[in-house]
Amino acid sequence: MSSLLSCAPGPLQGALCVPGDKSVSHRAALFGLFATGPCRATGWLDAADTRSSLAAVRALGAEVSYADGVLEVAPGAGPEALAVRGEPVAIDCGNSGTTARLLLGLLAGWLPPAGPGVVLSGDASLSKRPMARVIDPLRDMGADITCLETPGRLPIRVRGAKLTAAEHHLPVPSAQVKTALLLAGLNAAGRTVVRGGGASRDHTERLLRVMGVQLEDLGDGDLAVAGGQVAERFDIAVPGDPSSAAFFLTAAAMIPASRVTVTGHALNEGRVGALRVLRRAGAQVAIDRARGPRQGEMLGDVTVAHDQPRPFVITAEEIPTLVDEIPVLAVLATALPGTSVISGAAELRVKESDRLALMAANLKRLGAEVTEYPDGLEITGPVRLRGGTDADPVVLETAGDHRIAMAMAIAALTAEGRCALDDPGCVAVSYPDFFTALDGLLNRG
Ligand code: S3P
């Protein structure tokens, strides 16, 4: 794969399917571990991140098969089989925060109390990411969790423990933390309450309900779950990932004469914030919901066309609905006439990289007018981004972060001259065929 990116010869046009939703795919792999029977997910995302979850459940005894988009997970021998091992099960979560955080919550009460437990580790990026937001409330429920090197960071050992239900208030509206606590609640004695999830994505709630688990909806995204419930097997279709679609749909909003349709796009309300921003930024956004809901998740066909660009404002309340799309929305802002503002987004500093710092630095390298704040960015456009020459391209830094790489590939399309990504291969974390799909829309594939 070439690291060199040249500017687009023209608009983006056409229709495509994007890979399955990453969040739903992680859950499909992990929840199969505690279902009562074999589970199935079609359209499952086969990428580095979700493979981490699959390898984890396999290491925990699940029987797993994957071919042609169809994942099958059967629970296997169950937690008791792990108790007799002499050594802890070693699980490498790779780059995946979802794998690590969801497993912490799941394993805390699922593992048998007597066994050696599990050691979770991750790559250099994941080893820097905060885990205390999950560990602290789990310890309040009685979880036996030890950080082996640095407090609040991987590597972490989890041993089984008898959990007691608790009432939690999330410090940040995070779906990963909410999920970890709900999964722990399923294995705890009593009724666990999770407040403060707000507008965070609700794929966990939807899949648990498909599995027959009763969740109490307390309003405003607050939830309660009674421990000891049986989770039935599931057979689901994973919709297209809005966070992957966003690169192409945003490029269509940005580049004159573009029109792109993503078919089978997830339309979960907690995931479509970026489409609302594209509309506010003056793009035409059409949503065809004719396909209807499928096993708990909505999907449809989304078409975005360039129209009348204008700047946008994104504030804290909206962030959970577009948290992973902010890098590419920052790229869009460089093409809009006026100042666009992204605030309340401090969480981006603890994603796979410090996404606010990296986006500001990369866009400035291309000549954009960007001010970085502790919790956001202000970007004034329109600015014609400038790359370098074939012999001396502007090198854009990814820090191995897939979403930075894809966002900057879109920026490079609109830049004059040559750009290069320092690590284009990192797109494999969520979208291995990203560059081929982009070429297809540029008609140069
Ligand atoms: C995810 C939730 C989000 C998101 C991440 C995936 C999930 O993180 O950024 O890519 O699958 O639950 P937070 O829950 O930490 O906001």
Residue 101 · residue 53 · CB < 8 Å: no
Residue 118 · residue 87 · CB < 8 Å: no
Residue 357 alpha carbon to ligand 1 centre in Å: 19
Q: How many residues does the chain have?
A: 445
Residue 365 alpha carbon to ligand 1 centre in Å: 28
How far CA 428 is from CA of 49, 68, 183, 405, 409, in Å, comes to 8, 17, 28, 10, 14
Residue 128 alpha carbon to ligand 1 centre in Å: 16
Q: Give CA 441 to chain center in angstroms.
A: 24
* Nearest-CA residue for atom 13 of ligand 1: 174
Burial of 436 (0-12, 13-18, 19+ CB in 10 A): exposed
Burial of 25 (0-12, 13-18, 19+ CB in 10 A): buried
Atom of ligand 1 nearest to the CA of 26: 11
pTM over 0.95: yes
DSSP strand pairing (284-288 vs 299-305): antiparallel
Cα 213 to Cα 197: distance, rounded to the nearest angstrom: 19
* Nearest-CA residue for atom 10 of ligand 1: 324
Structure tokens at 195: 């407040």
* Nearest-CA residue for atom 15 of ligand 1: 174
Catalytic choice (49, 241, 324, 401): 324
Res 80: pLDDT: 85
Domain with CATH 3.65.10.10 in the chain: 4-20+239-441, 22-237
Residue 386 · residue 367 · CB < 8 Å: yes
CA nearest neighbour of 74 among 108, 106, 103, 31: 31
Residue 423 alpha carbon to ligand 1 centre in Å: 23
The question of whether 241 is a catalytic residue gets the answer: no
CATH of the structural domain 22-237, one choice from 3.30.365.10, 3.40.50.300, 3.40.640.10, 3.65.10.10: 3.65.10.10
Q: Reduced to 3 DSSP states, what percent helix, strand and coil does the chain have, rounded to the nearest 5? A: 35, 25, 40
Residue 174 alpha carbon to ligand 1 centre in Å: 6
* Nearest-CA residue for atom 16 of ligand 1: 174
Superfamily of domain 4-20+239-441: Enolpyruvate transferase domain (3.65.10.10)
* Nearest-CA residue for atom 11 of ligand 1: 23
Atom of ligand 1 nearest to the CA of 27: 11
Atom of ligand 1 nearest to the CA of 324: 9
pLDDT per residue as tens digits for the range 384-426: 999 999 999 999 999 999 999 999 999 999 999 999 999 999 9
Atom of ligand 1 nearest to the CA of 174: 14
The tens place of each residue's pLDDT in the chain, 445 residues long, gives 446 676 666 899 999 999 999 999 999 999 999 999 999 999 999 999 999 999 999 999 999 999 999 999 999 888 888 877 889 999 999 999 999 999 999 999 999 998 899 999 999 999 999 999 999 999 999 999 999 999 999 999 999 999 999 999 998 999 999 999 999 999 999 999 999 998 899 999 999 999 999 999 999 999 999 999 999 999 999 999 999 999 999 999 999 999 999 999 999 999 999 999 999 999 999 999 877 677 778 999 999 999 999 999 999 999 999 999 999 999 999 999 999 999 999 999 999 999 999 999 999 999 999 999 999 999 999 999 999 999 999 999 999 999 999 999 999 999 999 999 999 999 999 999 999 999 999 975 4
pLDDT per residue as tens digits for the range 71-114: 999 998 888 888 778 899 999 999 999 999 999 999 999 999 98
Task: Compute the CA torsion angle 251, 257, 262, 265 (nearest 10 deg).
Answer: 60
Residue 220 alpha carbon to ligand 1 centre in Å: 19
Atom of ligand 1 nearest to the CA of 323: 9
Task: Report residues whose beta carbon is within 6 angstroms of any ligand 1 atom.
Answer: 23, 26, 98, 174-176, 179, 200-201, 323-324
CA nearest neighbour of 46 among 75, 66, 28, 31: 66
Cα 66 to Cα 39: distance, rounded to the nearest angstrom: 12
